[in-house]
Amino acid sequence: MTVPMNRVTGAVGIVIVWVLLFGELTAANVVGGIVVAVAVTVLFPRRGPTTRHRLSLWGCVVLIGELAVQLVRSSITVARAVIRPTPARLETKVVRVSLSTDSELVGTVVADLITLTPGTLTLDVRHEPERLIVHALGDSSAAEVRASVHALEDQVLRAIEPRRGPGTREGAGS
């Protein structure tokens, strides 16, 4: 039986994190980390085919820059709503947004970044097909919220590009 390299890499990562959590490199900590890593990989096996991704350094830099700008804008919007509340500024909406990708990683990153942004919250993430339920504060319309999420998804896709090919979920459908 062969073990996929990504599973071995994950197990090694678990051992490293385990040792770092205990703060010292001892034989007992390494053995304990190995026991935990084996237990995690045996008890929680990967399900079905996985999508491989390619990380773009430049895409990540652009994503972080755009996220920083969005964080400032959103913080100002929320601060204005708190300091000078009006019915329009306090308006909330729940919007369903279908994503263009079927990568669970990309969908999860988009959902996390939405939740990090003040005034927005991801209420639910659904896979196959990828879609999000987003709560938004402010006077923007549902269409504007969807457009904002799709713009964020495009930025994430430039940073974390799903690879298409045999054996991957995206390769099968595209």
The confidence score (pLDDT) of residue 170 equals 41
pLDDT digits (tens, 9 = 90+) for 21-61: 888 889 999 999 999 998 988 887 766 656 677 888 899 89
**Angle at CA of residue 126, ends 54 and 43, nearest 5°:** 75
Number of C-beta neighbours around residue 147 at 10 A: 13
State whether the Cα torsion 58-60-65-66 is positive or negative. Answer: positive
The confidence score (pLDDT) of residue 49 equals 59
pTM summary value: 0.68
The confidence score (pLDDT) of residue 146 equals 94
Confidence band of 123 (pLDDT split at 50, 70, 90): very high
pLDDT at 9 over 90: no
pLDDT digits (tens, 9 = 90+) for 65-120: 999 999 999 999 999 999 999 998 899 999 999 999 888 888 889 999 999 889 99
